[in-house]
DNA sequence: CACTCTACCTGTGCGC
DNA sequence: TGCGCACAGGTAGAGT
């Protein structure tokens, strides 16, 4: 499941592609599965056909592509969320299409931007302004101001795991990195934020930033059969009944907030 | 407000 | 070998 570090890797791949996506004209829009588009499909096709890629941004797990009309200056944004299994490819247009391609943008210079998504959870939407989406989100996980984060954390009465998963609190953390962050901070997923002492709060803030930054630098997580390129080593996620890398106690898995939650019962202390 | 449940999806991996 | 089924999870929206 792509989270902030994986989405950031996608963005950097596109930005660093041999033939840049910036400046490309959209020659044809091909929607291969109707519900991949939120909103009116005809409008989506007509808005993008003939328009030019100008810019790519990311906030949390959301990607935003800015286009302008070929002769004008009016901008429109394409929002893309990969959800569980979405993947984005910039490929030569003659490359064979994958089985689960949901959306394909044919570009000039013989390129195609393809969105492939077996589970079909991913969504694409046109917005006039990215604030339509980011207005509901907290600060991006890579741009956290530690003092402000500390103050916001200390006020929260919620359990740490659901809090970290709340995109309105911090944008970009998903199930994998929530577990990894709590392990690094040595905090139990059931602990309440407002019961932490100042040292623990600081530890948590540091862990959020460190885990996300390290995962970005390693191009995402390295999990069997889930991701390809990433080298970020998971300590607890998906490792139930395996020894904790710190104390060798067996990693425990429980369902919390409806999510599989992995933690070390010895290293991670609970403050309810 | 805080929390839980459900729908949306389909590939995977298990038990029988 | 193959069938059926539970399971995985991000988000929105409804319900408690």
CATH number at residue A210: 1.10.8.50
Contact A208, A173 (CB under 8 A): yes
Give the pLDDT confidence score for residue A69 in this predicted structure: 85
- From the CA of A83, how many Å to the C1' of C11? 9
Q: Is residue A116 part of a domain?
A: yes
Give the pLDDT confidence score for residue A227 in this predicted structure: 54
Angle (CA) A6-A213-A77 rounded to 5° is 50
Q: Is residue A141 part of a domain?
A: no
- Pairs from A221-228 (Cβ < 8 Å, separation ≥ 24): A221/A3, A221/A5, A221/A6, A221/A176, A221/A177, A223/A176, A226/A1, A227/A6
Question: In terms of residue numbers, what domain contains A247?
Answer: 146-263
Is the distance between the Cβ of A257 and the closest atom of strand B smaller than 7 Å?
A: yes
Give residues 17-76 of chain A lying near strand B (Cβ < 7 A).
35
Is the distance between the Cβ of A195 and the closest atom of strand B smaller than 7 Å?
A: no
Tell me how long chain A is.
272
**Does residue A151 share a domain with residue A128?**
no
pLDDT tens, residue by residue, A199-230: 999 999 999 999 999 999 998 887 755 555 68
Which among A90, A107, A134 is the end of a domain?
A: A134
**Does residue A68 share a domain with residue A156?**
no
On strand B, nucleotides with any atom < 7 Å from a protein CB are: 1-6, 8-13
Q: Is residue A195 part of a domain?
A: yes
**Does residue A219 share a domain with residue A175?**
yes
What is the domain count for chain A?
A: 2
Q: What is the pTM of this model?
A: 0.95
**Does residue A188 share a domain with residue A99?**
no
**Does residue A183 share a domain with residue A157?**
yes
Give the pLDDT confidence score for residue A224 in this predicted structure: 59
**Does residue A116 share a domain with residue A180?**
no
Q: Is residue A270 part of a domain?
A: no
Q: How far is it, in rounded angstroms, from Cα A170 to Cα A192? A: 16
Nucleotide nearest to A194 (CA to C1'): B2
Which among A84, A113, A134 is the end of a domain?
A: A134
The set of residues with CB closer than 7 Å to nucleic strand C is A 1, 3, 60-62, 81, 83-85, 119, 121, 136, 165, 167, 174-176, 255, 258-260
As given in the structure block, the two tokens for residue A86 are: 């979405």
Residue A248 backbone dihedrals phi, psi, to 5 degrees: 70, 0
- From the CA of A121, how many Å to the C1' of B7? 12
- From the CA of A50, how many Å to the C1' of C7? 43
**Does residue A229 share a domain with residue A174?**
yes
Q: Is residue A272 part of a domain?
A: no
**Does residue A207 share a domain with residue A130?**
no
CATH number, domain of A29, equals 3.20.190.10
Q: Which of the residues in chain A have pLDDT under 70?
A: 224-229
Q: Is residue A71 part of a domain?
A: yes
Nucleotide nearest to A82 (CA to C1'): C10
Q: Is residue A196 part of a domain?
A: yes
**Does residue A153 share a domain with residue A62?**
no
Give the pLDDT confidence score for residue A70 in this predicted structure: 76
Is the distance between the Cβ of A119 and the closest atom of strand B smaller than 7 Å?
A: yes
**Does residue A198 share a domain with residue A76?**
no
**Does residue A151 share a domain with residue A83?**
no
Residue A5 backbone dihedrals phi, psi, to 5 degrees: -65, -35
Q: Is residue A37 part of a domain?
A: yes
- From the CA of A162, how many Å to the C1' of B6? 18
**Does residue A121 share a domain with residue A8?**
yes
User: Any idea which residues of A carry the catalytic annotation?
Assistant: 2-3, 61, 259
Helix axes A198-217, A175-184, angle to 10 degrees: 130
Give the pLDDT confidence score for residue A228 in this predicted structure: 59
- From the CA of A171, how many Å to the C1' of B2? 19
């Amino acid at each position: 499941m792509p989270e902030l570090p994986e989405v950031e890797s996608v963005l950097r791949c596109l930005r660093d592609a041999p033939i840049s996506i910036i400046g490309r004209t959209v020659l044809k829009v091909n929607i291969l599965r109707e519900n991949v588009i939120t909103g009116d499909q005809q409008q989506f096709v007509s808005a993008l056909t003939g328009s030019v890629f100008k810019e790519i941004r990311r906030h949390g797990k959301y990607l935003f592509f800015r286009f302008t009309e070929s002769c004008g200056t009016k901008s429109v944004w394409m929002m893309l969320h990969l959800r569980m299994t979405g993947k984005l490819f910039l490929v030569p247009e003659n490359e064979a299409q994958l089985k689960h391609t949901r959306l394909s943008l044919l570009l000039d210079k013989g390129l195609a931007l393809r969105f492939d998504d077996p589970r079909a959870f991913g969504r694409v939407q046109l917005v006039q302004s990215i604030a339509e989406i980011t207005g509901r989100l907290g600060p991006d996980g890579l741009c956290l101001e530690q003092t402000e984060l500390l103050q916001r954390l200390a006020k929260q009465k919620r359990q740490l795991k659901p809090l970290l998963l709340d995109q309105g609190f911090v944008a970009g953390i998903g199930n994998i990195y929530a577990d990894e962050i709590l392990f690094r901070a040595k905090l139990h997923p059931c602990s309440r934020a407002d019961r932490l002492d100042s040292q623990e709060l600081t530890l948590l803030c540091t862990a959020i930033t460190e885990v996300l930054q390290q995962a970005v630098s390693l191009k995402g997580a390295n999990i069997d059969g889930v991701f390809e390129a990433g080298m970020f080593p998971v300590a607890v996620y998906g490792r139930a009944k395996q020894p904790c890398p710190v104390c060798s106690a067996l990693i425990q898995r429980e369902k919390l907030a409806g999510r599989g939650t992995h933690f070390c019962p010895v290293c991670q202390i609970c403050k309810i």
